[in-house]
Amino acid sequence: MEETTPGQRPVRVLVVDDEAMVRAGIRAILARDPRTEVVAEAADGAEAVSLARRHRPDVVLMDIQMPGLDGIAAAARIHQAVPTSGVVMLTTFGEDHFIQRALEEGASGFLLKADDPRELLNGVQAVASGGAYLSPRVAARVVAGLRAHRSARPRRSLDHLTGRERDVLAGLGAGLSNAEIAATLHLVEGTVKAHVSAVLAKLGARNRVEAALAAHEAGLVAGQVAGQIADRPPQPPRRSQPHQ
C-alpha cells in the first residue's frame, strides 16, 4: 500500500449509493488506502448534489439507479456546479445502456460494483489526477456492445492519428493523466495536452472517456501500460479547472 508523501493530502471522495451496506463496503475499501479520504456519503442524487457543493470532493463515486434524482442526472448537476469534481459511475451487469447517457453528462469513469477492490482504488486515483478510468470489464462489455451494433455506430477511425497521437491515446485508454502520459513518453506536459486536444478532435470524441473507449476498441491499451495505474505514484488530486 502506498503512503502519501509529506504535504500530499488524500483524495477526497463522496460516496453515493441508496444502499447503506454498499456505502459501508466502499468506505471500508477506501479506508485501506491512506491516499483516499471519504468526506461524506449520500443516499440519493439530490443529497449528492448538495454534499458535492458543500465539500467539493475530488471524486464522486455515484450509483446509477437511485430513487428520486438518479445518478446520471445528479452527475450532470455536479458537473455544472462543481466542475473540478470527477464523477465515477458505479454500474452493475445489465446497465450498459446507461453508459452513453452518463458520458453525455460528463462522467469521468465507470466501475462495476462486482470489480476487484483494487479497481476502485485505481479508478479513484486516476480520475483524481485528471485521467478517465474504465475498469477492464466495463471496457470489454462496452466494446462488445459497440461491435455488435457496428452498423448503427461505426468504429472511430484511427487512420488520421500520428504515431505519437496513438501513443497518447493508449495512455488515455489506460486511465493516465497528462502528467503520467508525459512521464511515460518522455514529453513535457504541455505537449501531451496539445496531443490530447488533437486526438479528441480527430476522433470526434467529446471527452477523455470516449477517447479511452476508442483506445480499448482499437486494442491500443497494452497490459504493460494499464499496469502502470496500480503502481502510479501519488499525484496532486485537486484540479484547478477541468482540463483535457
- Taking the C-alpha atoms of residue 77 and residue 93, their distance in angstroms, rounded to an integer, is 25
pLDDT for 226 equals 41
Residue 116 grid coordinates = 476487484
- Taking the C-alpha atoms of residue 181 and residue 170, their distance in angstroms, rounded to an integer, is 9
Q: Cβ of 144: how many Cβ atoms within 10 Å?
A: 12
Rg (C-alpha) for the chain, rounded Å, is: 17
**pLDDT tens digits, 103-139:** 777 788 889 888 899 999 999 999 998 888 888 887 7
Q: What is the pLDDT along the chain (244 residues), one digit of tens a residue?
A: 555 554 578 999 999 999 999 999 999 999 999 999 999 999 999 999 999 999 999 999 999 989 899 999 999 999 999 999 999 999 886 676 777 788 777 788 889 888 899 999 999 999 998 888 888 887 777 767 656 555 444 456 788 899 999 999 999 988 888 999 999 999 999 999 999 999 999 998 888 888 888 888 888 875 434 444 444 454 555 454 444 5
According to DSSP, the residues that pair with 109 across neighbouring strands are 88, 133
Q: Is 42 helix (H, G, I), strand (E, B) or coil?
A: strand
| Structural contact between residues 59 and 35, judged by C-beta atoms closer than 8 angstroms | no
According to DSSP, the residues that pair with 114 across neighbouring strands are none
